Amino acid sequence: MPADLGALASMVPDPIAKRLASARTVLAVGHEHPDADALGAAIAIGRIVTARGGTATVASSDPVPALYRFLPGVAEVLTDPDPALAYDLVVLCDCADAARAGSIVGRHPDLFAATPAIVLDHHASSEPAGELTWVDQGAAATCELVALIALRLGVPLDAGGGELATALMAGLVMDTATFAHPNTTPRTLRLAAALLEAGAALSDISRRLYRTKPESQLRLFGRVLGRLEAHDEGRVVAATLELADLEAAGALPEHSEGLVDLLVQAEEAEVALLLKEQEDGSSRLSVRTRDGGVDATALVAGWGGGGHLRAAGATIGLPPAAAWAAVLPQAIALARDVRR
């Protein structure tokens, strides 16, 4: 291992490294409504465990969206633990606690209550707690932490003919927008270079995540962008994705991915908001903010949400019209406080 990567590997907390090294049967779980970072990190944990002679199950409460089906091993991701296995460790990836893992916890409460758990996360809204919790808010993605774990445990990044590297690179690409977001650090780029050398197809991953969309998704974007609203002289831009939009465009809920990132490109916007109408009558809020401006987590905290300084989300137990009445005044007030 090159000296610089060896130094990075030493950043892994000793209790995390020791517990993973001794585990024989591991359940790796990402957060509900999985994205490339949660999936990539959980898949990579599974590959690390099996490379060391253990057994691993990768699970997600929700089915894997089509966007991420190119990930190696994604066909093996289950929605529930394997009932034939007795797990000695749970690894929660890209979520600060089991509650963020979603309905899988409710379906298997005894397993999650009785099994020791490692927490791996990088969200600014997460609070570190316990020696088996590693929350590094300076990491661009949870896959960055898992890459360090692989190095620390002696698992080559090119394991599986580049499949481990591909899973990890997908998380880095997703959470940095192909290394364009300000969360990208020198460590992120050093690890990305090592993953590229290990066989990760960076250009293909970037294309699949950011530059390939089905026609139905483009139609969906057109409908929602056509209702874009600007508030407070453009400091806040907002749009609603209605259930009827999905039907009219022939789109799936997962096709809303990336829409809010278009909204925040509005030239004067400090805050971009997307409300997605849900089947149960609630609304899913996505927030993006400009670098050096509003803390996105501050806006969603009142509804139990979380995320990053520049990107956060929450579920609001109100239909869109009522949710807007609650959200917009707060967003406008925060945007007005920004001084540039």
Rounded CA separation 12/66 (Å):
32
Residues 188-227 have pLDDT tens digits of 999 999 999 999 999 999 999 999 999 999 999 999 999 9
| pLDDT value for 3 | 61
Residue 2 has pLDDT above 70, yes or no: no
Helix (H, G, I), strand (E, B) or coil at 283: strand
Determine the Cα–Cα distance for residues 340 and 335; give it in Å rounded to an integer.
Answer: 11
Distance from C-alpha of 258 to C-alpha of 150, rounded to nearest angstrom: 30
pLDDT, residue 293, reads 95
What does the chain come to in residues?
340
pLDDT class of 97 with cuts at 50, 70, 90: confident
What's the pLDDT band for 128 if we cut at 50, 70, 90? low
Nearest to residue 39, comparing CAs of 73, 89, 85?
73
Looking at this protein, which amino acid is placed at residue 128?
A: P
Considering only CA atoms, which of 89, 84, 205 is closest in space to residue 143?
205
Residue 130: the pLDDT is 85
Looking only at Cα atoms, what is the longest distance across the chain?
59
The model's confidence at residue 6, banded by pLDDT at 50, 70 and 90, is confident
Contact 315, 305 (CB under 8 A): yes
Q: Which CATH class is domain 3-210?
A: alpha beta
Q: Which residue type does 299 have?
A: L
Tokens of 224: 């929602």
pLDDT at 125 over 70: no
Are the beta carbons of 252 and 246 closer than 8 angstroms?
Answer: yes
Indicate the pairing of strand 271-277 with strand 133-135: unpaired
Q: Could you read off the pLDDT of 11-60 as tens digits, one per residue? A: 999 999 999 999 999 999 999 989 999 999 999 999 999 999 999 999 99
How does the average pLDDT of the chain come out, rounded?
A: 95
Residue found under tokens 């789109």: 251
Is the confidence at residue 127, as pLDDT, over 90? no
CA distance 105 to 305: 19
pLDDT at 340: 87
DSSP-H helix ranges across the chain: 3-9, 14-22, 36-51, 103-107, 109-114, 142-152, 163-176, 186-197, 202-210, 215-225, 243-249, 259-263, 296-300, 320-336
State the pLDDT at residue 23.
Answer: 97
Spatial distance between the Cα atoms of 82 and 88, rounded to a whole number of angstroms: 13
Residue-wise pLDDT for 151-172, tens only, equals 999 999 999 999 999 999 999 9
Q: Are 36 and 68 in contact (CB under 8 A)?
A: yes
Q: How far apart are the first and last CA of the chain?
A: 45
pTM for the full model? 0.86
Residues of the chain with CATH 3.90.1640.10: 3-210
- Residue limits of CATH 3.10.310.30 in the chain: 215-336
pLDDT tens track for 226-274: 999 999 999 999 999 999 999 999 999 999 989 999 999 999 999 999 9
The amino acid occupying position 326 is A
Using an 8 Å Cβ cutoff, are 87 and 46 in contact? no
If one compares 181 and 239, the residue with the highest pLDDT of the two is: 239
Average pLDDT over residues 80-99: 94
- What counts of helices (H) and strands (E) characterise the chain? 14, 11
- Listed as own residue / partner, the contacts of 3-9 with beta carbons closer than 8 Å and 24 or more positions apart are 4/190, 5/151, 5/190, 5/194, 6/151, 8/148, 8/151, 8/187, 8/190, 8/191, 9/148, 9/151, 9/152
Phi, psi of 23 (to 5 degrees): -70, 140
Evaluate whether 166 touches 45 at the Cβ level (below 8 Å). no
Highest CATH level, class, for 215-336: alpha beta
Residue 308's pLDDT band, with cuts at 50, 70 and 90, is confident
